[in-house]
Structure 1
């Protein structure tokens, strides 16, 4: 009986994975026959677990959504990952989720086996996050839920939006993705009135419901919404910009930078143009120095002057030592 109960728990754990399991694969995983798997599935159904089955060569078993949530079965690593994730959210930037996350964390830690509880507490004690550079904007979870639902259902959304200066605008958008970058959330959407892609900080959005009509799906801007956001958000914060000719193939330069640093356009097989920027000339100079290739800078004039000043400083720092007097 104990062996059967343990096998049922292992079977239930496999079925909770979001995929369809062929009976033969389940039998191999549990080292039993296909007939035993069929009997175990029937036992789970008798216990109230809605296990769906499909016939044919591509058929199999999967756990369907039921009226009641079955007990959640997690492996050791999964349990540790969920616990650490809840602990991170409790310190995160989602308004209203801190207390809920702490309550869920307390319940989970209460039922963790001693060996896992020790692992979790060790991680919590010795894995310390670096505090944010500044206060992070809180994101309303209800707003986040509305946005991701509109993305999923492909429904137009009317929203009020505050720009960086605090000015309010009314926008009609076709939401594409919600992107989390660090401690901020961004909505990537097609702006209907401007006929172009735009990014919106979620903490500045007030959605208006109900949502509008459905729209035809589009490919993510630049092929990847996260890359698009990192490039747009960084560029919007740049105080200084520069277009630099780099004496290296575009592919080599791309390997050394990320979208938050700039974009690369090939000129020929051996040179390319880097469109880059930063909030300070010192940071911009560091980015260029880390390229590992020669480059030409002609503008802006303040960057040229700054690089010359740095070149002179570096030159002075490496002067040959004067010979000592006897």
Structure 2
């Protein structure tokens, strides 16, 4: 029997150090493209399999699942990952994480699928094309997409437009007359863009009730606490602000609440604030928000994925999770 190739064989064939080979396998984004291509070519030609993977597969038949997503430090992604990890806990699966921060990284992930030897992929907020999805299936890998609807894969989604409608309806019923929205309007080329349908649903419901969302009250800010806080310190200082604000992400809502507290603006008496997501901190700060069950979306994705891994003939499923208003102290 021929001896299995080692990392040293790959190193010699590619003309790079074993440390570089290791980085290509574990963190390819930190290796320049020319060296990465040499290593990947050597791996393919030698049919090299990392020792850990070979040991796991022969002794425990462990299946490898990769969660592929942007913004892994964002609370909503952390909670989805928590649901995924909880659903896989104690089962024969190895969980990996691949962070996407550019379209090139997303394309590279697809191009190097054979090297990763995966059994399943769960994508978060990534708009893979039909061609990319087909390539994944051609590599005998099952997949589930969260927050992106495709007819070619299992999907777990919400109705973002309806979320905007729910937010507007809640604020209208509270008797508010002057409305604002906080959202990040710059659209990345490698991630889904749920903000626009949320804003459209919000605007639609206001219009249906003879109310208007004025352009000056559309606040384009980064989806983060600090940037929103800095912007709203200036907004509250100006004295010109709406009496009800829909933040299309809870992180932005927290920035507004902090700015209001430092500016002497009363919540909800001077301005009501509603968020979106219901991430962990929302309950602690009393934030009214639109709940999408983030942990549950991760658990459902695991169930859909592992079911197809066991039975590839199982029909594809599209699961749409319900949204609900969670009333707390900020409205």
Query: TM-score if structure 1 supplies the norm length?
Result: 0.24
Q: Which protein shows a greater Rg? A: 1
Structure that is richer in helix per residue: 2
More contact order relative to length (CA 8 Å, sep ≥ 6): 2
Alignment TM-score, normalising by the size of structure 2: 0.24
